[in-house]
Amino acid sequence: MCVILYKRVEAWLNYCPSLKKGISMYSQNEKVVYPGHGVAVIKRMLERKVGGRSTRFYELEFINKDMTILVPMDNIELIGIRKISSQKDIGVLFGMFAEPIVPHQNEIALNWNKRNKEYLCKIRSGKLKEICEIYRDLKHIEKNKELSFGEKSLLHQTELLLAEEIALACDIQPENAMHQLRNLAQKVQQQS
pLDDT digit string (tens) for the chain, length 192 residues: 433 433 443 444 444 444 444 444 899 999 999 998 999 999 999 999 888 889 999 999 999 889 999 999 988 888 889 999 999 988 888 888 777 676 654 444 567 788 888 999 999 888 899 999 899 888 888 888 898 899 999 999 999 999 999 999 999 998 999 999 998 888 877 776
DSSP secondary structure code for residue 161 in this structure: H
Say if residue 163 is in the same domain as residue 104.
yes
Say if residue 56 is in the same domain as residue 113.
no
Whole-prediction pTM value? 0.77
Helical H segments across 16-86, by residue range: 17-21, 76-79
pLDDT (0 to 100) of residue 168: 92
Say if residue 37 is in the same domain as residue 106.
no
pLDDT (0 to 100) of residue 100: 67
Say if residue 106 is in the same domain as residue 184.
yes
The verdict on residue 67 lying in a domain is: yes
Say if residue 145 is in the same domain as residue 181.
yes
Domains in the chain, number: 2
Say if residue 67 is in the same domain as residue 95.
no
The verdict on residue 171 lying in a domain is: yes
Residues 6+ away with beta carbon under 8 Å from 78: none
Please give the helix or strand (H or E) that residue 46 lies within, else none.
Answer: strand 38-50
Report which of 143, 54, 52 is spatially closest to residue 97, judged by C-alpha positions: 143
Say if residue 49 is in the same domain as residue 108.
no
DSSP secondary structure code for residue 63 in this structure: S
Q: Using CA atoms, how far apart are residues 191 and 143, in angstroms rounded to an integer?
A: 12
Range of the domain at 181: 87-191
Question: Backbone phi, then psi, for 104, in 5-degree steps?
Answer: -75, 160
The verdict on residue 14 lying in a domain is: no
The verdict on residue 118 lying in a domain is: yes
